[in-house]
Structure 1
Amino acid sequence: MNWKYDFEGGERLVFENSFASTAIASSLAPMPLFHTSGLVLGLDDTIMVPLTNPYVPDDVRSIVQDIPGAEGIVLQRRIVELGPRRTEIERRTFRSMIGLQGTMAPEWTYDAYYQYGRSQVREERSGLLDLLNYQAALDPDRCANVQGCSVINPFGSEGFTIGDLKFLTAPNAVRRLHADQHIVSLAFAGPIEFLTDEAARVSFGTEYRFEGLEDEPDQLLNTRPVSGSLNFPGSSGSFGALDFYGDITLPLLSDLPGVEELTATGGVRLSEVSTVGTVVNWHVGGIWSPYGGLSFRASFQSGRRAPNIAELYSAGPSTFGFYTDLACLPT
């Protein structure tokens, strides 16, 4: 929704609002369990099928028993019984801006505004495996001490019972993220007499931005490990940035043989960012037109971008397996 109101003196009040909502659903193959991921509970703690599981084939059990130090079998498979993994992502974005535009002097204008924006993301994952319950269901000794547990056959093709699936299925994992942005800006533009007969056009202004983000992972994932849900550690933070900038377009020559237009351009932006300090970006350039319909443009710029709010505080997923650095072990 946009709205404008023009005053008698030439000023214009501008009010803008926008809202967007999207929903995306995707599916992946059933849960994979590997020795480097899926079957890993922690450092050097891999879920195995103990030899006491009654469904271990006799010939396999006899082979493993002859291996010194063998504690069980690392069984890699897909838990097809849980069905596909499903991810649903909802995004909502809201933006509101109020501004005032007007004329200060002949050919000089100003533009001032305040803007607020908010972005929200909700991500839900289903088809997950409760690793602690899976570990218990493989081990008769563990299973006897866990309510609702029954020993499963991970080798067979007949699948699990409805009771087994209820015990093994983890609750859906939900992650919530929201980011807020505030912007206050003031800009001026107009002509100035500078070196040449034709007036140069300049613009300059200042802008202040404040952004914050909060990433909330599913707290149950910290106490109840599951397989198939990316582990987002969660984080939050904010930063502020104050910018000063200016640009100039300077006509040098015009209406001469071989030079219908020769114009120089330049600009600089100085940013003071609370997270990284001072950042300076600048550019210079020019336009040469020998005659109508033909022009050449050249420019050079130098820039450095401060990290945005998502790069600073939106924690990425942890999907790496656990390994032990033998050099770090005590001697």
Structure 2
Amino acid sequence: MVTEKKLVELFRQMWVIRFFDEKVDEFFAKGMIHGTTHLCVGQEASAAGAIAVLEDRDKITSTHRGHGHCIAKGAEANRMMAELFGRVTGYCRGKGGSMHIADVEKGNLGANGIVGGGIPIAVGSALTSQMKQLGYVTLCFFGDGASNEGSFHEAMNMAAIWNLPVVFICENNQYGMSGSVKEMVKVANIADRATAYGIPGAVVDGNDIFAMMNVTHEAVERARRGEGPTLIEAKTYRWKGHSKSDAKKYRTREEEMDWRNNRDPIERMKRVLISEGIFSEQDAARIEAEARAEIEDAVKFAEESPMPPIEILEEDVYA
């Protein structure tokens, strides 16, 4: 049972995720953040809704488009922003950047710059939970493009035959870089592939936070009972390009505006919470402003944080 207080927190969390990525987009354009980044603007509900049903002990693995997952699992926006600015106060002391944020203490086993790279890690985490009888479940996030990687199929098969406590969540945002999922996947739904491994598959509106919570809760509880993995396909859409170099020539402006105007996950949740009397339009505006202020504070924290000292250059190197 999700309380009204929790729903309001999730509404605020989705705004934090959106404002974080919009601010990152702004600073990349200014050349103040280096490397590359992949933004999840428009996909906030899949991260917030799925992770909302976890217990504190549960784990996640993330992707190159993972800022939302990190925030939903409890990461602090100021330390995340500091990481992107390459500052020593970041989660990885400024060494990881956008694609490698991890917070093991909170159960975030890390984002991953390799497409599909987090999938076998999630299975390893689930195997640890099973063998040591720790009782936690691992959520494994990946995109539609990763579902064509060999690691996806190997990990799915292993998780299935060993009944591991892992839930696979494919965030199908319709495009793997510039390739439409309709051109890259033969089946109607990526979740249909679950049948080949003898596990349940579910398709969900990834922009509906309530649907995300419901389907993920069922899969997590099934895994916790020892009944094995589930493959969830969350159909969503990224408003921004694949990365900062993407001109988005492979999709139409009309398509983008349809998703923005008619399927915005934050606006959809706001309408429900207002109609249910959980908060007012004024409350929603106040929460939005608070989330925006949190990100402005995160930028200030990052800008004022020191660069890593040269002495730590060779630390955290294992190969």
Instruction: Pick the structure with more strand per residue.
Output: 1
TM-score normalised according to structure 1 size: 0.21
TM-score normalised according to structure 2 size: 0.21
